[in-house]
Each structure stands twice: as C-alpha cells, then as structure tokens.
Amino acid sequence: PASDTSPASPASPASDTSPSEPNHPQPPKPHPLVDHPDEAIAAMAAEYSDMDGELVSTGPEYVRWPENITFKNFAVYLLIPTLVYDLEYPRTNRIRPLYIFEKTVATFGTFALLYTVTEAFIIPLTPTPDQSFAKSLLNLSLPFMVAYLLLFYIIFECICSGFAELSYFADRCFYEDWWNSTSWDEFSRKWNRPVHMFLLRHVYAPSMASLQLSRSTAMFVTFFISAIAHELVMIVVTHKIRMYLFMLQLVQLPLIAFGRTPAIKHNKTLGNVVFWMGLYAGFPLLCVAYVAH
C-alpha cells in the first residue's frame, strides 16, 4: 500500500518535528537511608537511588518517574498508536488538518471497497458442505488476499497515522516492507511493528533475561503467547473454540526453520515466493476451517 512515510526505511519522526534545546536534568540525590545501619534497608535504598536515576526520559521534557503517573499521561498513552509505554515519545509541533482529512477520506473510501469485495467475492463463495476443500481454497485465495491488503491499509496507513497526527506522535513507522519478506520470522517483525515491539520488550527479552531462556525457547514462548491472544480474538468474533488460528500461528515456527535452510536462505526470490504462497493459502484455510466446523 502507498505510504506517506517510506515503510522500507527505519522509523523517522514527522518532518515538522522541531528539536528542543537540551535541558539535562540534575542527577537525583541519594536516598537518605543509603547509610542505614541495617544492610538490607541500605541496599534497598541504594537500589531505589539507582532506579531513580534511570527512570527519566531522554527527550526534551525529561519526564521523571513518578511524575508521569497522572491521568493526562495515561490518556495520552491510550491515544497514541503504540503498545509500548515510554516516559516520553518523539513529538511533532502541530496538527495538519489536511492530513487528517486525507486519512479520514481514505479510511471510509477503502472500507467501502473492502465491503464491496466481501459482498461480491467472499460471501458468495463461502464454503458449503458439498464443496471440495481444494476448490474452496482456490476460490477464496485471491479475494481474501485483496481483503487483507485493504484491511492492512485501513489499520496501519489510515487509522494509526491519523491517531498519530492527532496525538502529535512523530514515529510513523507502523510497518516495514513485509511484502519483500523471505521468511516468516522477517514477516512477523515487519508487518505489525507496534505488536512486534511490545512482544520484544515485554515477552521475548524478559524471558531471556529473567528466565535465562535460550533464543529459540524465548521465540517459542513469544509465538505461543501471541497465538493465544490471536485465538482469543477469534473466539470472541466467531463464538467458537476451534483453535485453528492458534495452530496456524504455531505452524510458523517450522516454516521459520524451513526458511533458514540454505536453499531458501541464499535464494531471496525463492524465499519470497514461498512466503507469498503461504500467505495466499493461510487466509482461505482459516475461512474454510471456521466455516466448515
């Protein structure tokens, strides 16, 4: 999909972000109990002092914990399109009304197109009991891919960018060039950056640091938790407990291992073809599974 910010490049603040003059905060004073005769209390006070020095933002406002614990700060976090909480985010200095208008029109226009595709090419081809499995997949593969691309554009290019503009949020890298992926682990990193960064910070990295898990085990735990979350969404939407999406999510793990084989790893074109074949098959497979059972 077209993008105002090049998706193939790393996150970059919006062009109207105005840098502020550095205003470095004073280092925090040591806790008064660091010299306490009780070693346990002194150690706890020293740890508190160290944390107090670390829990400060590096941006121009230099927000320090616990000054950030306010209803306003929480409301801002709910509005900006990110899942990872930070003391301070890169900001723009103004809201562009024409940009908001463009994203609003694009949202409703693309949604109308998505509705048309669904009504004309998906619902009439909904699998029936007397229809073969292979025919159902072939009939639905292209319509579902078109619907996925339209829905992706609505969410990441229109809604996320619109809320970013309204909240003065300067980081507009909500996705990267996932369409050039040559493996499923690359796709999982690129297609949904907000969720990827959340899982990276709060699941993958802590599981290795706190639980001393290996990289492969931490990756399995991350995919497992992500698969559970996706399946919960399907349970709410379909009112069925079938675990098809959960299983399809975990199937990505052997596909990742397959993508690391020399034949795929050293042939990026072949890797990209295999990736797109899996993507084309995955969406209609879910539809057939949930509709038929």
Give the active site residues.
Answer: 230
- How far is Cα 260 from Cα 252, in angstroms, rounded to an integer? 12
Sign of CA dihedral 49, 50, 56, 59: positive
Instruction: State the CB neighbour count (10 A cutoff) for residue 177.
Output: 14
Instruction: State the CB neighbour count (10 A cutoff) for residue 280.
Output: 18
3-state secondary structure of 161: helix
Task: Label residues 182-207 b or e (16+ Cβ within 10 Å = b).
Answer: bbbbbbbbbbbbbebbbbeeebbeeb
- How far is Cα 69 from Cα 142, in angstroms, rounded to an integer? 48
Q: What share of the chain is helix, strand, coil (3-state, %, to 5)?
A: 65, 0, 35
